[in-house]
Amino acid sequence: PQNIVRYSFKERAYKPISYVDQLAIHFSLDGNLLLRDSDEGRRQGAKIGLEPGNHRTINVECSEEAGEGEEPPPHSRKEQKLTNQFNFCERASQTFNNPVRVCCHCSLSMIHKHWEIYDAYVEELQKLEKSKEKEKQKPLVAKKEDKPRGRKLTSLESQSDDVTKVTKAAKIVERMVNQNTFDDLAQDFKYFEDPADEYRDQEGTLLPLWKFQYDKAKRLAVTAICWNPKYKDLFAVGHGSYDFMKQSRGMLLLYTMKNPSFPEYIFNSESGIMCLDIHNDHPYLLVVGFYDGNVAIYNLKKLHSQPGYKSSAKSGKHTDPVWQVKWQKDDLDNNLNFFSISSDGRIVSWTLVKNELVHSDVIKLSVEGTTMEGPEGLQLQTIGCGTSFDFHKKIDYLFLVGTEEGKIYKCSKSYSSQFLDTFDAHHMAVDAVSWNPYHMKIFISCSSDWTVKIWDHTIKTPMFIFDLNSAVGDVAWAPYSSTIFAAVTTDGKAHVFDLSINKYEAICSQPVVAKKKNKITHVQFNPIYPIIIIGDDRGHVTCLKLSPNLRKMPKEKKGQEIQKGPEVEITKLDKLLNLVREPANKPEK
C-alpha cells in the first residue's frame, strides 16, 4: 500500500513512507544438525564411537572384517573434553529429556461441610502438639542417659521398660503391704474415739498416727504444708531451711496416707523451698516459692523432675526469699494467676501467658514514719518486709499482709500506693495471718512474740489475745467449726483452742516432738477427716487424730433438729464476739 503514514520525531509530524517490508516468512523449523568439526560434534562423535572424518559405513566394514576372523584395529579415541561448569550455553544441550508418561485420569467429587474441615484442622493441631511434647521430653531423657556407656545402656533401658509395665501393680502391692504393717494405725484412724474424753471436763487429746519421713530430706526443715483440694489423702510438703547461714538445696515431696513409708512424688531443687500452694481447679498444679527469690510451677502430670515454668533474673524475680504464694482466680483471658510476697517488700502478681511467667507489682510495702534524708536532701523511705498474706474468701480484691515489723496491712488489689487500714498487731514478725472460713470479718494472726490474736477487720484492736509462752510458728482454722483453731510453738507443742468452750485457754496443749533442738514449724487441718498434720525442722511430718472433745458438734435435743451449715457457725462466733466487743463497736441491729 502507498498510503502508510508514520510519526517522525525529528520533524514532529506524520510523514508518508514509501518503503514496505518485502519478506514474509510462512514456515520455520529449527534443525538438529551439527557440524562435525564443532566442539559439540566431536563430543557426540566420541560418544557414539565415530572417528573424526569417517562415516558410519567404515564401522560396518570393520564389523564385516572382524567376522572373517581378523581383529579390528583399535580405535584411537581422543581424550573426552570436560564440560565447562560455568558455561551455561553448553548446559542446555546436556539436559536429559524424560520419556512421556501415560497418566490415568479419573474424576472424584465430594461435598465437604464446614465442620468436617474444622475437625481436620483440629486433628492436625493435636498431632503437632503431641510431636512438640515428644521433642521436649527427648532432651530430658538424653541428659539422664550417658552415650559412652553403649551396650550396657541398652540393657538398662530394656530393664526400665520392663519395670514401667508393672509400676501400677507394684504401687498397689506396696500400699497393701503398708496397710498390713500399719494396720493398728489404720484402725485407729478409722474407728478409734477416745472414751476418756467424757471424764476430761471438755479437754481433748491428740492421738499420734503415722510419721512421714524421707531419708534424703532428714537435714531439711519442713517449710510448707498443703493438702490437695481434690484428693483428700494427698498432701505436699516443702523442705528448705530457716537457718539463713546454712542454706543448701530444697525438696518438694508429696505423701499419701495410703502409703506412709515413701513419698508419691519427689522433686529436687537447687534452692530451698519456703512456701507452696496447690490449685483448687487444677489439683495437679503446684506453685512454689524459693529462698533465692524465684517462683516455679510444677505439673504432677509431667514425668520429668524439673518445674514446668520458672521465673529467672532475666524475666523478673524477687530479690529476697519468697515467704508465701497463693493461687488466685484465672484472669479475664483464662490465664493461670498467683500472688507472691517476699522480704523485698513487693507483692507480685504472676500470670502464665503463652508458656511464660509475666509479673506485675501489686503493692510495694513501706514503713510509715521512717523517711530518712539521703544525700542532697533526698527523701528515702524504709521498705517493709512482707512475711505472710491471705486473700478474703468472698471479697476478691481484699487481702491481708503480715510484716516483719509486726504490722498487718489491709490491702486492695485495686490500690497499689496506699493501704486500706493498718493494724499495730505484734511486737515481732507476723508468722501467719488467715481469714476465718465462715465469718467474713474475722481473721487470726500469730507471731514470734509468743501471741495469737483474733481480729475483726473493722476494729483496730484485737478481739482475743492468747499468750503461748513460746514463739508461735503457724496457726490454722478448723474447716468444720468457726470457733476452733490450732497453733504450734517452737517448744514442740501443739495447741488446740475452741472459743465456744474456753475463751481464755487451750482445750488441748500437747508436746508432739522431743524438745531437744527440734521445733515445730507448720500445722494444717485435713478438709474432711478429723486429723491434723504437723511439720518440724528435722524434716518429719506427724499425723495426729483429734479426740471427740476437740471436734465437738452440737448435741441433739429431744423434738428438735440440729441446725447445721455456715449460718449456724457465723451466729455461734457472733455471740462470742458480742461479749467481747465494746458498746461503741457493737453493730447496730
Task: Tell me the per-residue pLDDT of 559-568, one tens digit each, with 9 for 90 and over.
Answer: 455 566 777 7
- pLDDT-wise least confident of 117-121, 208-212, 363-367, 535-539: 363-367
Single-letter amino acid code for the residue at 64: E
How sure is the predictor about 85, in pLDDT bands with cuts at 50, 70 and 90? Answer: low
Q: Quick one: which of 135, 132, 154 has its CA closest to 145?
A: 154
Query: Stretch 315-335: mean pLDDT, rounded?
Result: 85
β partners of residue 542: 211, 534
pLDDT at position 37: 84
11-15, 462-466, 512-516: the lowest-pLDDT one: 512-516
CB contact set of 141 (below 8 Å; sequence gap of 6+): none
Cα–Cα distance measured from residue 553 to residue 562, given in angstroms and rounded to the nearest whole number: 10
What is the predicted pLDDT for the residue at 424? 85
Q: Would the pLDDT of 381 be above 80? A: no
Residue 202: count of CB within 10 angstroms of its CB: 12
pLDDT (average), residues 320-328 = 89
Averaged pLDDT for residues 90-103: 60
Of residues 290, 242, 245, 243, the one with CA closest to residue 268: 290
Give the pLDDT band (50/70/90) at residue 375. low
Res. 321: pLDDT tops 80 = yes
Q: 3-state DSSP call for residue 566? A: helix
Cell numbers 490415568 correspond to 104
Q: Which residue has cell 544441550?
A: 93
Name the grid cell of 460: 483496730
pLDDT band at 151 (very low <50, low <70, confident <90, very high): very low
The larger pLDDT score, comparing residue 341 to residue 80, is at: 341
Highest mean pLDDT among 43-47, 86-90, 150-154, 376-380: 43-47
Contact, 239 vs 217, CB < 8 A?
A: yes
Rounded Cα gap, residues 308 and 300, in angstroms = 10
Measured torsion, CA atoms of residues 172, 176, 177, 183, in degrees rounded to the nearest 10 = 150
Give the mean pLDDT of 409-431.
82
Sequence-distant (≥ 6) Cβ neighbours of residue 223 within 8 angstroms: 238, 239, 240, 241, 242, 272, 273, 274, 275, 521, 522
Please tell me what DSSP assigns to residue 46.
H
Stretch 546-557: mean pLDDT:
70
What are the cell numbers at 138?
A: 527427648
Q: How far apart are CA 372 and CA 482, in angstroms?
A: 44
155 confidence band (pLDDT: 50, 70, 90)? very low
Position 439 scores a pLDDT of 85
| pLDDT of 97 | 64
Contact indicator for 337, 350 with CB cutoff of 8 Å: yes
Which residues neighbour 321 within 8 Å (Cβ) at sequence distance 6 or greater?
Answer: 274, 289, 290, 291, 292, 293, 342, 343
Confidence label for 148 from pLDDT (cuts 50, 70 and 90): very low
Q: What is the mean pLDDT of residues 46-52?
A: 71
By percentage, how much of the chain surpasses pLDDT 70? 78
H or E element that contains 138: helix 114-144
87 pLDDT more than 70? no
Q: How far is CA 280 from the centre of its chain?
A: 14
- 51 pLDDT more than 80: no
Q: How confident is the model at residue 433 (pLDDT cuts 50, 70, 90)?
A: very high
How many CA atoms are closer than 13 Å to the CA of 460, on its beta-carbon side? 7
